[in-house]
Amino acid sequence: MENVIVGIGEILWDVFPKGKVMGGAPANFVYHASQFGLEGYAVSAIGNDMLGLEIIESLQEKELNYLIEKTPFPTGTVHVTLDSMGTPKYEITEHVAWDNIPFTTEMEALSRRTKTVCFGTLAQRSKVSRNTINRFLDTMPTDAYKVFDINLRQHFYTRELIEYSLLRCNILKINDDELSIVGQLFNWIDKTELQMSRMLLENYELEMVVLTKGAVGSYVITKTETSYKKTPLIVVADTVGAGDSFTASFIVSLLNGKSIEEAHQFAVEVSAFVCTQHGAMPLLPDELIQAATE
């Protein structure tokens, strides 16, 4: 099977106090995977407006493949503010183009070639995009990686949506803040992070749970092993997109035949670099690109 990687869901402009940068977790994921030479596609929707045109121009500038449909809804924006530690806070515009992603014949053809897809909860806040995402998952090869990067934002999730998505994926990517929310929703308030991670792994028959804990470290948990890595000490510019780069580099390493331990270490190194840069889509240095296939 071809190593086609897809990020499906939101594509938008992250609007910072000093300007805007293209973002959205699925697009960030695909951008980083594509830097390692894989055939990545951003799948989403834009409006018939200037911001939408600038999305297409930015994707072309980054030489990133895409299936982006035009809709009568405005192109998505997110207003981002950063605290003193560079941690982002988001205000996400509603009723936008990526809430209305149509399922097309081109999308169906792409899904049948896809080795890995990454999706989250945010683009499933609307029925139209939720149905499209699930139709894409349904037509993928049975042995593909289906990565649920849970990506809980504001009030755009429910326990039912999380559970449904857990049943559709085989890899869960979650951070410690999101795991705490899931623990509350599932009434697991007396459980530790590792206990909750293992319950998710077993209850939903996942291949692995990837748990990131910011500056503290990260875990990759399977039925037979638990990998833990400390987060390197770095000077943080901002953490926007760091988790997406972690997920992308981890998956790329697995597809390149690396062990979980090796893939985990590489993901830590890539995401640490991204934290030293501004924005979600920095160019990775040559040494990291080369290390992906060594």
DSSP string covering 223-252: SS-EEEEEPPP---S--TTHHHHHHHHHHH
User: Which of 205, 31, 252, 7 minimizes the C-alpha distance to 111?
Assistant: 7
pLDDT in tens, 200-227: 999 999 999 999 998 899 999 999 999 9
Q: 118 with 6: CB under 8 angstroms?
A: yes
The pLDDT value recorded for residue 251 is 96
Cβ neighbours, 10 Å, residue 113: 16
pLDDT at 1: 47
What the block records as the tokens of 249 is 């580099």
For residue 94, what pLDDT is reported? Answer: 94
Q: How high is the mean pLDDT of the chain? A: 93
Q: Average pLDDT for residues 87-94, to the nearest whole number?
A: 84
Do 41 and 32 contact (CB within 8 A), yes or no? Answer: no
Q: What is the pTM (predicted TM-score) of this model?
A: 0.93
Q: Pick from 209, 217, 204: which is nearest to 260 by CA?
A: 209
Summarize pLDDT for 21-76 with one digit per residue, the tens.
888 999 999 999 999 999 999 999 999 999 999 999 999 999 999 999 999 999 99
Task: Tell me how far apart the terminal alpha carbons of the chain are, to the nearest angstrom.
Answer: 21
Task: State the maximum Cα–Cα separation within the chain, in Å, rounded to a whole number.
Answer: 50
Residue 5 binned pLDDT confidence (cut-offs 50, 70, 90): very high
Q: What is the CATH number of the domain that holds 167?
A: 3.40.1190.20
What digits encode the pLDDT tens for the residues 241-269? Answer: 789 999 999 999 999 999 999 999 999 99
Query: Which domain, by its residues, includes 80?
Result: 4-291
Pick 15 or 217 by higher pLDDT. Answer: 217
Report how many domains make up the chain. Answer: 1
